[in-house]
Structure 1
C-alpha cells in the first residue's frame, strides 16, 4: 500500500510540473491581453498594481517582466528536477534572469540588461569551480578508472608500513 501511495504522489508531482511547463507559453503571451494604445499608466490585477515604469505603456512593461519571469521559472523547474552531475551550472542562467528581472522591475527602463554582468561574475566565480571539481572527480573515476578513495587507502597503508619500519629500525638500533 505504501508503494502505491508513493507512486501516486510521484505521478501527481510530475503532472503538476508538466502543467507548469505547458502553462508557460500562455503565461509568456499573456501580455497580449492587456489593453494597448491607451493612456494607462497603471494596470491592476488581483491586488497588484503594475505601472509603465518608464517603458511607455503598461503592456510593454509586462512584456519585459514576462520575458524574464517565464525563462526564470522554467530554469528553476529544470534545476529542481535535474539529476545530472552538472545541475549547479543551471544556477548561472537562473542568476542572470533573476538579476535582469530585478533591474527591469526596480530601475528605469533605460538600464535594462546592462549591469547584470558584474553581479553574474560573482555567481560564476562560485559555481564554475564547484561544477569543475565535480566533473574532475567523475571523469577520473569513470573514464580513467581512478578511484580516489582507493588511492587514499593505499597511501594510508603505505604510511603505516613506513611508520612500522621506522619503529623496527629504532628498536634494532637500541639493541
Structure 2
C-alpha cells in the first residue's frame, strides 16, 4: 500500500516538475525569433526555411510563436485544471489553434480577421454544454438535488408538446 502512494507521489512530482520547467522556459521560446536572420531564408543545419508571405523569416517566426505560446499555455492550463469549468478553456485554445494554423499557412493574406469566430462556434457550443453539465452535476452533489428530472426533460422535449 505504501509503495503505491510513494510511486504516485513521485509521478505527481515528476509531472509537476515537467510542467514547471515548461512554464519557466516560456519566455525563451518566445524570444526564439531573435536568433532568426533578417532575410527571407533561414538556413540551419537541421532545415532551411523560406518565408514567402511575410518576406522576412524573423517576422514569420515572431508571428508563429506569438500564436503558439498562448496556445500551449492554454493547453497546459486545460490539462492541469481541476475546476468544473475547465472545458471553457478550450474556447480560446481553439481560437489560438486556428490562428496558429493560419500563421503557418504562407498563402494567408490577412490574419485575425475574425473568421475564426465562425470556425470555433461548434467548439464553443460543445464546451459550454459540457461545462453546464459539469456545473449541474456539481450543484447536485453540493445541494443534494435529484437531476434526473432535468435529464428526462432534456431527453424528451417532444413529449411536452404532444400531450
Q: Which structure carries more relative contact order (alpha carbon 8 Å, separation 6+)?
A: 2
- Give the drift of 1:94: 1.0
Distance in 1 (CA, whole Å) between partners of 2:133 and 2:7 is: 38
Counting matched residue pairs gives 146
| TM-score relative to the length of structure 1 | 0.74
Q: Is the counterpart of residue 22 in structure 1 residue 24 in structure 2? A: yes
Q: Is the counterpart of residue 111 in structure 1 residue 113 in structure 2? A: no
Structure 1: gaps (5+ residues): 153-175
Distance in 1 (CA, whole Å) between partners of 2:120 and 2:106 is: 18
Greater helix proportion = 1
Could you tell me which residue of structure 2 aligns to residue 77 of structure 1? 76
Structure 2: gaps (5+ residues): 150-163
- Give the drift of 1:146: 4.1
Task: Identify the match of residue 9 of structure 1 among 2, 8, 11.
Answer: 11
Distance in 2 (CA, whole Å) between partners of 1:121 and 1:24 is: 29
| TM-score relative to the length of structure 2 | 0.79
Highest Rg: 1 or 2?
A: 1
Q: Which moved more, 1:102-111 or 1:115-124?
A: 102-111
